Structure 1
């Protein structure tokens, strides 16, 4: 009889173990979120609502508890900004002309004192409209596989992997709406949080983490917002060429939490030719690279698990030092480049760079009378020009200096 009972207990335990077995769903999650059927997941649209419902079902399957204001959901309504220099205004849901966005929140309750927030935005640009860099005559679906189905997929992967592990903290997983319209979902949550933000340990944000390049360059922003971050990132890094940025301020959702005095880390694999264009599709993602990024973030979380609440440190706002421009070159800079100069990662159609014959991969080393050594010196050099000006530009191409004439 005793042997029978032991056998039954073993089978029961085995069944429980199989039920909670981790399975990598990153590629499947991206495939759903970046499918044409969701029509680009623009905030407030049916496609975004379908994406939100999918994320809720994934949260349930993983075993996350609801942590929104209505189950897993937290809705917010706002008047879209008509002036690009204004901020959108949150309003009551019954006002005419409003858009309703939906944050999706799931929770692992380890009965711990502090909570780690892990987030990624799931909205994108729909058929383009404001923010699109598409220059075609007809509107096309912007699927946003990298921006930011990639971040949501890694967030879901981490949620599955953290069940029952690293239990010194609770975990709040958030899929933000309204990021493309101005960090609206994260901003709203930060001001209407469903947990005590004083108990928030730190926040991890993943935005555009799907295109790790051959040199394995990974940018991490916010490394200066807690004294522990740099050492932890370095000691767990076995795969990446890290580009570290101190500031907790940037054009993604981590900013909303930094402004609440919460340490933040934002992971980013860099811009590309398909950024905010219809070509940002699933087949162009580096899924092995995404697996490595998920492994890395999990390792960072694991090392910090027994360190209590991390100290917060304010950082210099790097965006305040950015010069203002009256003209543009018409290029996508390679923000991951750490060599001397500014490397061009993409060329816009019918803009000064294309007309001058510049190419992807060119490294700008001189603009007018100014030497270009990095992004900041490039921006300072560009800021002195106005529409109608012309000047020379020197780029390194295949190891040689090439001089071109630029007309702004």
Structure 2
């Protein structure tokens, strides 16, 4: 109880400052530092700390001048569900014993336009760990600064920037709950929308945009969901090394909108060693990089401000093509690497790669008898092995070929 009172006092102080927004803006860093603070205990869906985060986001949306677009004239859209026991089943949105209540936070800019742009990011995270955590040393606060306080922070900055500018569209800003439990908040909204989804022009999702690297690599998926995306994304770009992917399906909230035949884009700066661990803290983020991403998204929106409503295109589901495998190397792949092979972005202690002497930065070019040219070929090669198997692995280490043997 003392801890909750401390949290509530902290939010009172921050929200009081938000009421003075006209005199002093809340910075990107301040938003993320609040959401990723230990006092919010990882913002797990349905917890008192998530409600504190939702209240903060509501007050921030009010201070920016957004209109409430949740239920019954509020900024909140709540949904109640029973957690899945079967990972292959669909979640049931029901009331009753054993249920959890999540809260989407939704604000709106009404420019009386015929089309609406949806901009979203999930604000929930893993709480003290549990399912989904990659931390093996017991309970600890998973602050989720990059995942996904970063996306929410950029979303709020976009709301501030788009207020009273680029009036060719209406804008719906959504902070989703329940993403880590299976895209629940976005799924619920799409089944129970608070706007006419027929007017939705496209949806922009920002999930993990806080770790832009020195080479400025920015991954954008969903580029096949509208014919215009590649041209607009490239012509608006002056900063980034873009890695574009066509699929509208993926493990984040844009998927829920793609399944409603709405063009989507998902912005992502890559995974890292702190992903789903207690070490994902706000001090480690690239704030200049997030500002650049915000400006880039504004430029993309501006290119389409006076354009007709986009046509939707179905894309292939790349996740269905991923091979099934029974073992892992114990590495974090660099999903933004666009060279030949699979570059290792992190090595887990006491796993096969670590024991074989593989290092962060190594590029896997052969696994067993299979040549590795990209992520998909790496996963196909990995799927051939079972626990107890051994395999030769060849890596490119700073231009030199190094051979090792791994035991799964």
Note whether the superposition's TM-score is higher than 0.5.
yes
Shift of 1:86: 3.0
1-structure distance, mates of 2:90, 2:339: 36
Whether 1:87 aligns to 2:79 is no
Separation of aligned partners in 1, 2:398 and 2:89 = 43
Distance 1:23 1:54, change over 3 A: same
Q: 1:217, 1:242 within 8 Å by CA — same for their partners in 2?
A: yes
Corresponding residue number in structure 2 for 1:127:
128
Cα distance, 1:301 vs. partner? 0.4
Post-superposition offset of 1:186: 0.3
1:223 aligns with 2:217: no
Unaligned runs of 5+ in 1: 1-17
1:288-367 matches, cutoff 5 A: 288-367=288-367
What is the CA–CA distance in structure 2 between the aligned matches of 1:339 and 1:23, rounded to whole Å?
41
Give the secondary-structure state (helix, strand or coil) at the position aligned to 1:101: strand
The separation in 1 between residues aligned to 2:299 and 2:22, in whole angstroms, is: 20
- 2:109 counterpart of 1:108: yes
Please show how residues 234-253 of structure 1 align to structure 2 within 5 Å.
234-253=234-253
Give matches, 1:70-219, under 5 Å. Answer: 70=72, 71-92=74-95, 95-136=96-137, 138-219=138-219
Structure 1 residue 23, shift from structure 2 partner: 4.0
- CA distance in structure 2 between the partners assigned to 1:319 and 1:20 by the alignment: 45
Q: CA deviation at 1:19?
A: 7.8
Q: What CA distance in whole angstroms lies between the structure 2 residues aligned with 1:82 and 1:353?
A: 32
CA-to-aligned-CA distance 1:318-348 (integer Å, 9 cap, x gap): 1111101111111110000001000011112
Distance 1:84 1:404 in 2: 36
Answer whether contact 1:87 1:182 (CA < 8 A) is retained: no
Q: After superposition, where does 1:238-277 map in structure 2 within 5 Å?
A: 238-277=238-277
Distance in 1 (CA, whole Å) between partners of 2:168 and 2:136 is: 50
> CA–CA distance in 2 between the matches of 1:108 and 1:61?
13
Query: Could you tell me how far apart the structure 2 residues matched to 1:128 and 1:84 are?
Result: 18
CA contact (8 A) 2:21 2:64 kept: no
Q: CA deviation at 1:161?
A: 0.4
Q: Give 1:213 shift.
A: 0.2
Residue pair 1:24, 1:157 contacting (<8 A) in 2 also: no
Superposed CA deviations along residues 302-329 of structure 1, whole A, max 9, x for unmatched, are: 1110002111111111111110111111
Distance 2:24 2:364 in 1: 46
Q: Which stretches in structure 2 are left out of the alignment for 5+ residues? A: 1-19
Count of aligned residue pairs for this structure pair: 388
Structure 2 contact 341–373 (Cα < 8 Å) conserved = yes
Instruction: Write the deviation string for residues 167-213 of structure 1: whole angstroms up to 9, x where unpaired.
Output: 11100000000000000000000100001111101000000000000
Residue of structure 2 equivalent to 1:63: 65
> How far 1:114 moved relative to its partner?
1.1
Q: Distance in 1 between matches of 2:227 and 2:258?
A: 14
SS of the residue 2:345 aligns to: strand
Query: Residues 343 and 364 of structure 1 are in contact (CA less than 8 Å); yes or no, is this contact kept in structure 2?
Result: yes
Contact kept in structure 2, 1:217 and 1:243, CA below 8 Å? yes
Bigger-Rg structure (1/2): 1
Aligned counterparts of 1:30 and 1:268: Cα–Cα separation in 2: 17
- Which residue in the other structure is 1:28 paired with? 30
Structure 2 length normalisation: TM-score? 0.93
CA deviation map 1:262-291 (0-9, x unaligned): 000000000000000000001100000000
